[in-house]
């Protein structure tokens, strides 16, 4: 399998014919390279159109017929002095995906913190993972933080494909179902280009990046139900993102700042 266009954006791109999980491949690579004293370069990428054992948030299974979806994992290196960017990273990745899709003629939006929706139907899931590493014996522990971000982007699935996976076609979609036929290579090329731009600006703490994230987030303004760790639910109106990328939800006269939670859009809030 080849991704010639994407390779121009990420020279360290590994394209696999099939794999259980691109996240597993990349996380193992990061640990091995850092243990050998050779930290993984930013934007090292593992991609496939045939992922057979992928997992999403809350350990949900993510699989698709061969050739119908793009699974890609990308390495980031977060400098110690920029650790405040960690909670923003999946949101920046979401905004980059939204912009890439926009360039391809698809209008999507980010559901906080890590899904892409087209008119309420999920087209992409994003999962970020801070990778624990061990330096070589006698070496100082690096202060930079290796993070991988995995993307699962629905390219060609039909309603029948989703039904065969036990998914409701009214809640999920693909680019093809939205009238856009695009290869995994073209999708990844656009994604990497937008990621490089947004992440470079984020490392400069350019305010326009955080504005772009807020503009892309379709959760803001929605009435939401947030399932919190422990099983409690919070129902209210998402009113914005704070300076740390947390979702601000107003419920019963109190504004809550949420850093984790499974968000369900109930309906648009009255304006």
Q: Which domain holds residue 28?
A: 4-216
What's the mean per-residue pLDDT of the chain? 92
pLDDT of amino acid 137: 76
φ/ψ of 98, rounded to 5, equals -60, -45
Residue 64 scores a pLDDT above 80: no
If asked whether residues 59 and 83 sit together in one domain, one would say: yes
Residue 58 scores a pLDDT above 70: no
If asked whether residues 186 and 247 sit together in one domain, one would say: no
DSSP bridge pairs for 110 = 116, 217
If asked whether residues 33 and 110 sit together in one domain, one would say: yes
- Could you tell me the pLDDT band of residue 171, with boundaries at 50, 70 and 90? very high
Last residue of a domain, one of 216, 240, 255: 216
pLDDT of amino acid 1: 77
If asked whether residues 67 and 123 sit together in one domain, one would say: yes
If asked whether residues 239 and 206 sit together in one domain, one would say: no
More confident residue, 242 or 142: 242
If asked whether residues 212 and 263 sit together in one domain, one would say: no
Give dist(CA 109, CA 99) in Å, integer: 9
The enclosing domain of 263 has a CATH number of 2.30.30.100
If asked whether residues 136 and 256 sit together in one domain, one would say: no
Give dist(CA 116, CA 121) in Å, integer: 8
Segment 48-52 shows an average pLDDT of 93
DSSP bridge pairs for 176 = none
If asked whether residues 172 and 241 sit together in one domain, one would say: no
Lowest mean pLDDT among 19-28, 57-66, 83-92, 126-135: 57-66
Residue 271 scores a pLDDT above 60: no
DSSP state of 242: -
pTM of the predicted protein model: 0.92
């Amino acid at each position: 399998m080849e991704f010639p266009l994407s390779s121009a954006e990420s020279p360290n791109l590994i394209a696999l014919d099939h794999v259980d999980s691109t996240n597993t491949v990349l996380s193992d690579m990061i640990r091995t390279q850092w243990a050998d004293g050779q930290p993984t370069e930013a934007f090292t990428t593992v991609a496939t159109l045939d992922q057979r054992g992928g997992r999403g948030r809350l350990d949900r299974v993510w699989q698709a017929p061969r050739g119908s979806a793009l699974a890609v994992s990308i390495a980031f290196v977060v400098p110690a002095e920029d650790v405040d960017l960690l909670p923003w990273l999946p949101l920046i990745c979401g905004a980059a995906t939204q912009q890439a899709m926009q360039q391809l003629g698809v209008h999507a939006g980010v559901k906080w913190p890590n899904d892409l929706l087209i008119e309420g139907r999920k087209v992409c899931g994003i999962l970020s993972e801070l990778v624990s590493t061990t330096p070589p014996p006698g070496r100082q522990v690096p202060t930079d933080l290796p993070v991988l971000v995995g993307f699962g982007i629905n390219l060609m699935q039909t309603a029948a494909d989703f039904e065969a996976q036990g998914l409701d076609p009214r809640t999920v979609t693909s680019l093809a179902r939205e009238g856009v036929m695009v290869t995994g290579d073209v999708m990844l090329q656009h994604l990497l280009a937008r990621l490089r731009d947004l992440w470079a600006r984020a490392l400069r703490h350019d305010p326009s990046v955080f504005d772009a994230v807020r503009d892309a987030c379709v959760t803001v303004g929605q009435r939401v139900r947030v399932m919190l760790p422990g099983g409690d639910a919070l129902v209210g109106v998402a009113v914005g993102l704070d300076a740390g990328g947390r979702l601000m939800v107003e419920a019963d006269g109190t504004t809550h700042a949420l850093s984790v939670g499974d968000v369900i859009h109930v309906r648009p809030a009255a304006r």
